[in-house]
Structure 1
Amino acid sequence: MKRNRIIVHIGYPKTATTWFQESLFPNVVNHRFVSWKEANELLLSSDCFNFESTYVRSLLLDNEKNNLIISSEFFSTAINSGFNYGYFSFGISHKIKLAFPEAKILIFIRRQQSLIASAYQQYVKNGGTFGFRRWLYSGEVFRFEHLFYDNLISHYKKLFGDDSVYVYLFENLKEDINAFTKQFCNEHMLEINWEKVNFNPKNRGLRRITIPLLKIINHFYKKPLGRKRYICHIPGMTLIGKGVVKYLNPMPIFGRYLREDDFLKPKDLEYIKNFYSKHNQNLIKYVRRDDLEKFGYFL
């Protein structure tokens, strides 16, 4: 009997997951791609104690290819939901193990200081109003422990085995997306319709004037995205916010795109270094030390 090939891509958030889900994985011709919406419905938004692993497996494998790619960055927990103290990522890992014990697990990581700056911008895009330092340090939205990459990697290796967990650096992808993608697809035996793959990034950051404009708009609707302030709820304001991101933010008149150092000051970097360096040293077991040093991971 031909063995099924099951690939489960769990994030992290802000590591080009949208590009994988919209540009690459839908154009894999020898696997069925399960979108994050379907994956979340079946695996994330189901009760842990009543999870029907046999049903989920039969439902997703009931097709002529019998090879799967499942992708959802929510499996490692959405970056702006306070990590939920690790319960979501821990629980979902066991669901995946029950339904697909033979799965290959793909984990992309990104140096913490870069991911933090990107995640805060996403928080504002999604309706957030907190200033950067309240978002970063209060623990109400973001939690530093979420980016202890070594903990999640070692947990999945214990569940699925060393040879079934693959760890990649977002920075290697960003440095040469074409070369990285071809090597990545060869490694996982993915046959691609390359003519349909768009190598342009899906999400851009915010410009200098866009972010304060969005925060003003965000005060006028209530949305369950974590913690925020709001003055009153005005129907339709969410659409206005999305319009600002889609139509106004690309315009250079709104200033340059924000950089990492627009958010993180020397004190913040020192705190981040002290918080993560010990855990990042453990990453040397999974990725090349030279690459970690090259891309600025605190060690």
Structure 2
Amino acid sequence: MTPRPLVHIGYHKTATTWFQRCFYPRVEGRRYVPQPLVRRALLDPHALHFDPATARRLLGDGLDTAILCEENLSGGLHNGGLAGCLSKDVAARIRATLPDARIVVVVRRQADAIASAYVQYVKGGGTHGVERYLFGRDYLGPHAPEHDEVPRFRFEHFAYDRLIALYDDLFGRENVHVYRYEELRADPPGFIRAFMAEHGLAAPVGDIDFDPANRGLGRLLLRAVRLANRFTARAVADKSCLVHLPYWYKISRRLMRKAAAGRLAGRPATAETLLGPALLAEIERRFQMSNAALDRRIGGRRWATMPPSDARVAPPSRWRRICES
């Protein structure tokens, strides 16, 4: 197979950190481009000042063997890809810079991805509960100056079929390869062997560490970290800070990682425990059409469909409004 650039655009919370740390750097005969260089080349430039030639120069020589993996290429996790504008513009940047690239997209059941996004928000310094995180705009007055100036979580970011269709148009459907995270998680070595065969890659699978690169937070630890985050102004935009203690962010992150690896984390914080049955069912309904299009596009194992929510636990009006939009 003739080498061509491989660009893995995400999504977030689909083992991209593991790909970056444990797999892509070990692929033989290919050049893994570090994340900072990818960001400098494709994400940092202003939209009206982006230059493909400069991007290629930053990415380095031998682009036909290059592997890029940066989840923010699909859009920021906590800002919905700036209402999709960043996600769309970055796709055009990649096309202008690496027109013969093979695109890799990994998607995840939306409810699990959204719950994991909230946990990541807390790990990054967030203090709000899950409802405030998901529906932050509803807590502002309609004429508040920050209503549209501060990007926030967007459900639309997880309608995967829209971004995939855009990449299909730009690169050709045969050059856009979409995978389900659940298949990777079920059988990591088997998934990677099939992945390598499809893309003509070689790596010592027997020597690869398949343990997750990022560990989640248990329910008990999640509450403790939210409280600890009130004493640092870092690092997410939408949060509450009682007082900023210098160095507390780094110290608390170290303590968090140690606790997450031990028995102090508590029971796992899953989509079911974080979101509750009503919102889970609403999320499933919101993405039904998108997932049907995704099933037609990639086939394979499909996500299980949630049963309809019980009328006795009908979601608040903001959930219905958001999920029906």
What is the TM-score when the length of structure 2 is the normalising length? 0.85
Q: Which residue of 2 aligns with 1:36?
A: 35
Residue 68 of structure 1 aligns with an amino acid whose one-letter code is A
Q: Which residue of 2 aligns with 1:97?
A: 95
Equivalents in 2 of 1:265, 1:297: separation in Å? Answer: 12
Residues 101-120 of structure 1 mapped to structure 2, 5 A cutoff: 101-120=99-118
CA contact (8 A) 1:15 1:108 kept: yes
**Structure 2: unaligned runs, 5 residues or longer:** 138-150, 308-325
Residue 170 of structure 1 aligns with an amino acid whose one-letter code is Y
Q: Which residue of 2 aligns with 1:206?
A: 217
Residues 264-279 of structure 1 mapped to structure 2, 5 A cutoff: 264-279=275-290
Equivalents in 2 of 1:166, 1:150: separation in Å? Answer: 13
- Specify the SS of the correspondent of 2:117: helix
Residue 249 of structure 1 aligns with an amino acid whose one-letter code is A
Q: Relative to structure 1, is the Cα distance of residues 51 and 173 closer, same or farther in structure 2, using a 3 angstrom cutoff?
A: same
Q: Relative to structure 1, is the Cα distance of residues 176 and 194 closer, same or farther in structure 2, using a 3 angstrom cutoff?
A: closer
Residues 175-186 of structure 1 mapped to structure 2, 5 A cutoff: 175-186=186-197
- CA deviations on 1:222-278 (whole Å, 9 max, x unpaired) are 124231111121101111221122111222134222222111212102221221111
Residue 249 of structure 2 aligns with an amino acid whose one-letter code is T
Task: After superposing the two structures, state which structure 1 stretch, 236-245 or 89-98, moved more.
Answer: 236-245
User: Could you tell me how far 1:3 is from its partner in structure 2?
Assistant: 5.7
Equivalents in 2 of 1:240, 1:80: separation in Å? Answer: 23
Equivalents in 1 of 2:58, 2:266: separation in Å? Answer: 48
Q: Which residue of 1 aligns with 2:274?
A: 263
User: Could you tell me how far 1:296 is from its partner in structure 2?
Assistant: 4.6
- Specify the SS of the correspondent of 1:234: coil
Equivalents in 2 of 1:101, 1:151: separation in Å? Answer: 20
Residue 106 of structure 1 aligns with an amino acid whose one-letter code is V
Task: After superposing the two structures, state which structure 1 stretch, 222-231 or 211-220, moved more.
Answer: 222-231
How much identity, in percent, do the aligned residues show?
A: 33
Q: Which residue of 2 aligns with 1:130?
A: 128
User: Could you tell me how far 1:58 is from its partner in structure 2?
Assistant: 4.0
Q: Relative to structure 1, is the Cα distance of residues 286 and 27 closer, same or farther in structure 2, using a 3 angstrom cutoff?
A: same
Equivalents in 2 of 1:221, 1:82: separation in Å? Answer: 24
- CA deviations on 1:46-80 (whole Å, 9 max, x unpaired) are 122222212322443414x8411111000111211
Residues 174-253 of structure 1 mapped to structure 2, 5 A cutoff: 174-194=185-205, 196-253=207-264
Residue 110 of structure 2 aligns with an amino acid whose one-letter code is Q
CA contact (8 A) 1:80 1:123 kept: yes
Equivalents in 2 of 1:176, 1:227: separation in Å? Answer: 37
Equivalents in 1 of 2:87, 2:274: separation in Å? Answer: 27
Q: Relative to structure 1, is the Cα distance of residues 3 and 49 closer, same or farther in structure 2, using a 3 angstrom cutoff?
A: farther
- CA deviations on 1:112-138 (whole Å, 9 max, x unpaired) are 011111111111000001101111223
Equivalents in 2 of 1:218, 1:46: separation in Å? Answer: 31
Equivalents in 1 of 2:43, 2:191: separation in Å? Answer: 29
- CA deviations on 1:199-241 (whole Å, 9 max, x unpaired) are 1111121022211111111111112423111112110111122
The one of 83, 86, 99 equivalent to 1:85 is 83
**Structure 1: unaligned runs, 5 residues or longer:** none
What is the TM-score when the length of structure 1 is the normalising length? 0.92
Equivalents in 1 of 2:114, 2:246: separation in Å? Answer: 30
Residue 237 of structure 2 aligns with an amino acid whose one-letter code is G
Residue 36 of structure 2 aligns with an amino acid whose one-letter code is K
Q: Which residue of 2 aligns with 1:45?
A: 44
User: Could you tell me how far 1:157 is from its partner in structure 2?
Assistant: 0.5
- CA deviations on 1:77-104 (whole Å, 9 max, x unpaired) are 1211243101111111111011100001
CA contact (8 A) 1:108 1:167 kept: yes
Q: Relative to structure 1, is the Cα distance of residues 203 and 296 closer, same or farther in structure 2, using a 3 angstrom cutoff?
A: farther
- Specify the SS of the correspondent of 2:298: coil
CA contact (8 A) 1:81 1:226 kept: no
Residue 33 of structure 2 aligns with an amino acid whose one-letter code is V
CA contact (8 A) 1:61 1:67 kept: no
Residue 20 of structure 1 aligns with an amino acid whose one-letter code is F
Q: Which residue of 1 aligns with 2:11?
A: 12
